Amino acid sequence: MHVQTIPMWTGKSNNYAYLVTDEPTKESVIIDPANPEEVTPVLKSKLAAGEIKLNAIVNTHHHWDHAGGNDETLKVFPHLQVIGGKDCKHVTKTPAHGETWKIDGAQRAVFTGDTLFIGGCGRFFEGTAAQMHKALNVTLASLPDDTKVYSGHEYTKSNVKFLLAVSNSAAIKRLHDFTKNNQQTQGVFTIGDEKAHNVFMRLSDPEVLKATGKKDPVEVMTALREMKNAM
Ligand SMILES: [Zn+2]
């Protein structure tokens, strides 16, 4: 499996689309092609070079900055299936567990949309702290530790500032060092790394309990999110 990152709205919302290709067969899907202006030219040149067979659009979730490019993309590539939650436009197929994507093979990867970011998590726009706790610490945490994380935005630099305000662990310092020299962090860190440096996945860490003044995991999650929002 090969993953090509296509950055979108760099310097603004810093979104990522991902072109995922099964190399032996060239079968490919494009994940969250929200800004066709930046994504379609890449797809066209890969197709022209015979490097991919494009089968589907995959949407991590229905927000416009992830699924908002479906219309335009389908105008150019009308044969594509659209795989995503039932709220995404033109969906032809909804998986049983639509929250996260997992591709097994030589390299395991998960495309986490706005749920898990490197060193952070999404705001609770349409869900609750309890749902985020379950998504991060039950669903994603149950993936093998070597699963690489590809999130929907590059937010790591600002996430690290918050992590350092909560804890000075060696894992957080390592992530901080990485962000000093690297603009992009997708596909570098794993679920195992997130369990070590992401405080939203460390709800019983004594430092996290101390920083939030809470004990119950859902209350800790709520407090962390409020602290991060206020930063
Ligand atoms: Zn987003």
User: How close is the Cα of 15 to the center of ligand 1, in Å?
Assistant: 7
Between the CA of 171 and the centroid of ligand 1 the distance, in Å, is 26
Q: How far apart are CA 78 and CA 72, in angstroms?
A: 10
Locate 215 and state its tokens: 């004990």
Give, for 230, the enclosing helix (H) or strand (E). Answer: helix 217-230
Q: Per CATH, which fold does 1-96 belong to?
A: Metallo-beta-lactamase; Chain A (3.60.15)
| Residues known to be catalytic | 61, 63, 65-66, 97, 114, 153
Whether residue 98 is predicted with pLDDT greater than 90 in this model: the reply is no
Rounded to the nearest angstrom, the distance between the alpha carbon of 228 and the centre of ligand 1 is 17
Sheet holding 2-8, edge to edge: 2-8, 15-21, 27-31, 53-58, 81-83
CA of 60 to the centre of ligand 1 (A): 9
Give the environment of ion ligand 1: residues with CB less than 5 A.
Answer: 65, 114, 152
Q: Report how far ligand 1's centroid is from the alpha carbon of 186 (Å).
A: 14
ipTM over 0.95: yes
Mean pLDDT confidence for 114-130? 92
Q: What is the pLDDT of residues 61-86, one digit of tens each?
A: 889 999 999 999 999 999 999 998 76
Residue 77 Cα to ligand 1 midpoint, Å, equals: 23
Which architecture, in CATH terms, is 118-147+155-230?
4-Layer Sandwich (3.60)
Q: Note the pLDDT tens digit of each residue in 142-190.
A: 999 999 999 999 999 999 999 999 999 999 999 999 999 999 999 999 9
Do 1-96 and 118-147+155-230 show the same overall fold? Answer: yes
Are 84 and 60 in contact by the 8 Å Cβ rule? The answer is: yes
Domain ranges of the chain: 1-96, 118-147+155-230
